[in-house]
Structure 1
Amino acid sequence: MSNLLDAFHLTALPAEAEAFRAEVKEFIAEHLPPAAADVRARSWMGFDAAFSRRLAARGWVGLTLPTRYGGAGMDAFRRFVLVEELLAVGAPVAAHWIADRQSGPLILRYGTQAQKDFYLPRICAASAFFCIGMSEPNAGSDLASVRTRAVRSEGGWRLNGRKIWTTNAQHCQYMIALVRSSGAPEDRQKGLSQFIVDLALPGVIVRPIVDLTGDAHFSEVTFDDVFLNDEALIGEEGAGWEQVTAELAFERSGPERLYSSVVLLDSWVAHLRRESAKPADLALLGSLVAQLATLRCMSIAVTARLARGESPVVEAALVKDIGTEFEQTIPALLEAAITADPARSIAPELYRTLAYLSQVSPAFSLRGGTREVLRGMIARGLGLR
């Protein structure tokens, strides 16, 4: 356990990262139109390609990618600041989110030079959006049991199978899919590979899934004898498990696993400022802020390890597990606080924001790996299993 605790060494954001914050705030003030809280609460599920391209024009999509590919060549700390500021105001970031956070870094680390030259400039220009093909029907977050299969064919591969809960697949040009390229599902981690799939190829069918809120952020994607050329394979054939594990460290570690409910929290704080806050309200607010401050420190500690080129898989899983539980707690506790006194006057916008997050928050602990899977990883990291 001591090794895991040492990984969360208290780390301050560097001065240059904090200086970058003012630049980000200025950009947001200039380029983000005002929107109601229930709209802003969608933030990293909010798809706005035009806003993503405005960010890209500043070099802030692919922020950590090398300048020769159109990135800004900045470090993970400044990406932390950028993400934190965008989520704090509820900016719509879903269009470029996955490509910026994990697809681009994955291609940079494992891709061929041709893949880097083709995809990375398009990611940095916000002209190519990526989704992730991991979960499958009847498999969920058990990635090692995937059944979607790529079979060697003349000049490439034939892909057949299905992916589900694929975020914004209906809006994206590409998917990075984890599939089985050899062996059987019983082989678990062996025989898995990652492929870049052009979603416009014949045989790819994307079906959006409507959630409780009426939004359609997720999709089911079917591959019916889709031909992929040899250049679609990322890294080594059969090395997909190692690659996807490194990719998930990028997905699980950032502030996006802390701030999904922050617009609601800010709206409630604004309500307390207008009304007479009760002692119970202030105690609850203090508890939530203390938890957020602690989780933020943990996330920055993981960011420091990413900045050093490390792959903090277990630490990122821990931040994601605790962080998403915190995100889910906020709407549940605020529901109780607001309804404790039916006579209190509550603005309709606050009610709408609370209603949205109450419906969508169960998904917070599913995306990026279920709580059960993450806790198994953490237990192994602690030497408990």
Structure 2
Amino acid sequence: MLENFNFHSLPPADEALRPAIRALAEEAAVTLSVDQRARSWQGFDAAFSRKLGTAGFLGLTLPPEYGGGGRGPFARFVVVEELLSLGAPVAAHWIADRQSAPLILNFGTEEQRRAYLPRICRGEIFFCIGMSEPGSGSDLASVRTRAERSVGGWRLNGQKIWTTNAQHADYMIALVRTSGTPADRHAGLSQLIVDLRAPGVTIRPIEDLAGDSHFCEIFFDNAELPADALIGAEGEGWKQVTAELAFERSGPERIYSSIILLDAWIAHLQKQDRVGEASLRLAGRFMARLATLRAMSIACTARLAQGESPVAEASLVKDLGTSFEQELPIAIADDLAARPEVAVDAGLRRALFYVAHIAPSFSLRGGTREILRGIIARGLGLR
């Protein structure tokens, strides 16, 4: 598997997108405080997402006939890297652009492609993910939410949790059981497009330790869905999910969750007349790891560009990337505490508090560390 992490440069044509997307990101972030920019993943700004759609930065990898840019994964890498590096609010379009649109393109019907993809590209509709459930977590094969065939299509019952920003989303792509029992594991799982405004759908936001309410639970009580809500063939849900998670786990978003805090801390060091040797060594280690992780993420992107599904490689990038992201706030807090006589800017302090509170979730979202390491072990032929 390690030979699949060959060094790749970003193509010049895709690098050429950087000035335009950076200008939009800077415009969106200029009025935000450091701790607000540190919330980039959770920053929900529908107007900004529509502006990105108008500028052609959503659906970059989708075919033009569906409103997309007809570009490759490298183009999206550049756009995501700029948005996250500057702390722009990306939550509104995030799931639809990264996962839902490619899923519908690859597995949906032509009618589904025509109905959803152009609106995703324009930033007009937003999606959330319906995978995790209470009692199942990252063990997605054990989901209990069930869809049964009805006269009009499907009748949905069950519960989902960690459906990020569901209270703002228009649709959910839900992994549900359409046959068998949880004991059947991967067999009998399908994915459905759920209109979150449909009767029988109840959304309850949950406030987290950082004071945000993006973490939601959703209840389905005999929610009726049309027959064309099914994505692909019945029973193909697991195959779809494994392909979908390769998009979720391999991108630059698995490196830059703490990047605003890192930048703020480096700016703090640059203001000092004399920086201690320990701080310099720590900054050097951070930057070396960041450069390595970025190169690995680009290598995964190259495999996506070749039409491959780098499941094991993406899991490795996600595991190493989230470990890096989680270590940043701890190490920075220790460094600041080691020099209590040096004043700390209020923005840096707030950003540190926020990232320290939210960092434990980094190794949960997109698959727990234990699940990822099982995938990596299989990729290495160790199990």
Q: 1:253 matched to which residue of 2?
A: 250
Q: Distance in 2 between matches of 1:78 and 1:121?
A: 18
Q: Distance in 1 between matches of 2:191 and 2:179?
A: 12
Q: 1:279 matched to which residue of 2?
A: 277
Q: Distance in 2 between matches of 1:332 and 1:30?
A: 31
Q: 1:171 matched to which residue of 2?
A: 168
Paired AA for residue 345 in structure 1:
A
| 1:67, distance to aligned residue in structure 2 (A) | 1.3
Q: 2:86 matched to which residue of 1?
A: 89
Paired AA for residue 381 in structure 2:
G
SS of the residue 2:95 aligns to: helix
| 1:15, distance to aligned residue in structure 2 (A) | 1.2
Paired AA for residue 280 in structure 1:
A
Q: Distance in 2 between matches of 1:193 and 1:103?
A: 15
Paired AA for residue 221 in structure 1:
I
Q: How does 1:113-128 map to 2 (within 5 A)?
A: 113-128=110-125
| 1:70, distance to aligned residue in structure 2 (A) | 1.4
SS of the residue 2:342 aligns to: coil
SS of the residue 1:170 aligns to: coil
Q: Distance in 2 between matches of 1:312 and 1:366?
A: 20
Q: How does 1:293-304 map to 2 (within 5 A)?
A: 293-304=291-302
Q: 2:320 matched to which residue of 1?
A: 322
Q: 1:264 matched to which residue of 2?
A: 261
SS of the residue 1:167 aligns to: coil
Q: 2:380 matched to which residue of 1?
A: 382
| 1:31, distance to aligned residue in structure 2 (A) | 4.9
Q: 1:155 matched to which residue of 2?
A: 152
Q: 1:212 matched to which residue of 2?
A: 209
SS of the residue 1:34 aligns to: coil
Q: 2:19 matched to which residue of 1?
A: 22
| 1:36, distance to aligned residue in structure 2 (A) | 1.0
TM-score norm. by structure 1 comes to: 0.98
| 1:62, distance to aligned residue in structure 2 (A) | 1.0
Paired AA for residue 351 in structure 1:
R
Q: 1:59 matched to which residue of 2?
A: 56
Q: Distance in 1 between matches of 2:71 and 2:227?
A: 32
Q: 1:359 matched to which residue of 2?
A: 357
TM-score norm. by structure 2 comes to: 0.98
User: What is the total number of aligned residue pairs between the two structures?
Assistant: 382
- The C-alpha deviation readout for 1:126-145, integer Å capped at 9, x for no partner, is 11100000000000110000
Q: 2:311 matched to which residue of 1?
A: 313
Q: 1:337 matched to which residue of 2?
A: 335
**What is the alpha-carbon root mean square deviation over aligned residues?**
0.9
SS of the residue 1:345 aligns to: coil
Extract unaligned runs of 5+ from structure 2. Answer: none
Contact kept, 8 Å, 2:29 with 2:37, in 1: the verdict is no
User: Which one is further off, 293-302 or 341-350?
Assistant: 341-350
| 1:71, distance to aligned residue in structure 2 (A) | 1.3
Taking a change above 3 Å as real, the CA distance of residues 331 and 96 of structure 1, as seen in their structure-2 partners, is same
Q: Distance in 2 between matches of 1:178 and 1:27?
A: 35
Contact kept, 8 Å, 2:28 with 2:88, in 1: the verdict is no
Q: Distance in 2 between matches of 1:132 and 1:325?
A: 23
| 1:34, distance to aligned residue in structure 2 (A) | 2.6
- The C-alpha deviation readout for 1:233-268, integer Å capped at 9, x for no partner, is 001100000001000000001000000000000001
Paired AA for residue 70 in structure 2:
G
| 1:155, distance to aligned residue in structure 2 (A) | 2.6
Q: 1:47 matched to which residue of 2?
A: 44
- The C-alpha deviation readout for 1:267-300, integer Å capped at 9, x for no partner, is 0111111012111100000000000000000000
Q: 1:225 matched to which residue of 2?
A: 222
Q: 1:240 matched to which residue of 2?
A: 237
Q: 2:31 matched to which residue of 1?
A: 34
Q: Distance in 1 between matches of 2:320 and 2:291?
A: 13
Q: Does 1:180 align with 2:151?
A: no
Question: Which of 120, 135, 157 matches 1:138?
Answer: 135
Q: Distance in 2 between matches of 1:42 and 1:31?
A: 13
The share of aligned pairs that are identical, in percent, is 63
| 1:113, distance to aligned residue in structure 2 (A) | 0.6
